[in-house]
Structure 1
């Protein structure tokens, strides 16, 4: 009987350790998927619908705040905000891709990552792009929420939020410095 209790405790301890290490394993899987340009592997680690929804809300909120109360009060201003919201939704759909995520995770601006005028680098050359989230600051916010923070070219924080469902961790939100 004691043997079964110890076995049960060992299984529970192993499950707890795996769950606690989950965000780090997920970040490593994201790094490998981005470096290998493996979109299927990346899709397994990222909750794209939740991520796109969050980014759309952040951009809409930033536009409304920057427009100010005068624009929001006028009919023409509200129509303009609606059009801008549609444009930003399309932008999010286009940019939330493996290439766009890799650029954000490395703290670089997306348009620098996809610059086609730059000559291609030879494989294994010095100065190769670093791993995504390599220099990130990690932090548990709760047992089901983990953040990894990198800084963009201007030193502003970009926070990547991983959430847990069951024992599986996935990237579900990116907090941009808008």
Structure 2
């Protein structure tokens, strides 16, 4: 009977350790998928519907704040904001794909991914590109939310948020410095 208790305790400890290591394993899988240009592997690590929704909301909010209250108060301004919101939604749909996300995380432009005549991609590690989230600051926000923060060229934080559903961790949000 005592052996069973120890076995159950060991299994529970292994399950907790695996769950705690999950975000780090996901980040490593993302890095490896980007380095190897493996869009299928990257797609397994990203919750695309949640990521698209989050980015659409962030961009719409930033656009409305930058437009100011004068534009929001006028009828033509509101129509313009709705049209612009549709354009940003289309851009998010286009960019938040395995190919687009890999290019953004790697610091390359998406058109270079699809342009056959574009120069070959830089070697991973040669100039710091090719390994996303390498120098990120990691922290648990809760038992099911983990963030990895990197800084852009201007020193502004870009936060990659991973969420857990069951035992699986996936990238579900990118908080942009807007």
- Pair in the same fold by TM > 0.5: yes
**Matched position secondary structure for 1:174:** strand
1:148 to 1:127, Cα distance in 2 relative to 1, 3 A: closer
Superposed CA deviations along residues 87-134 of structure 1, whole A, max 9, x for unmatched, are 000110111123432344346776788888763257997776x41111
**Matched position secondary structure for 2:170:** strand
Count of residues paired in the alignment = 177
Matches within 5 A, 1:25-44: 25-44=25-44
* Consecutive unaligned residues in structure 2, runs of 5 or more: none
1:142 to 1:22, Cα distance in 2 relative to 1, 3 A: same
Moved more, 111-120 or 3-12: 111-120
1:73 to 1:24, Cα distance in 2 relative to 1, 3 A: same
Do 2:30 and 2:42's aligned partners in 1 also have CA atoms closer than 8 Å?
Answer: yes
Give the Cα separation in 2 of the matches to 1:152 and 1:124: 17
**Matched position secondary structure for 1:88:** helix
Matches within 5 A, 1:1-178: 1-106=1-106, 119-120=119-120, 130-178=130-178
Superposed CA deviations along residues 48-77 of structure 1, whole A, max 9, x for unmatched, are 000000000000000000001110010000
Compute the RMSD of aligned alpha carbons: 2.6
Superposed CA deviations along residues 122-166 of structure 1, whole A, max 9, x for unmatched, are 7997776x4111111101111110000111121111000000111
1:100 to 1:153, Cα distance in 2 relative to 1, 3 A: farther
**Matched position secondary structure for 1:120:** coil
* Consecutive unaligned residues in structure 1, runs of 5 or more: none
1:121 to 1:164, Cα distance in 2 relative to 1, 3 A: closer
Give the Cα separation in 2 of the matches to 1:65 and 1:6: 57
Moved more, 99-108 or 46-55: 99-108
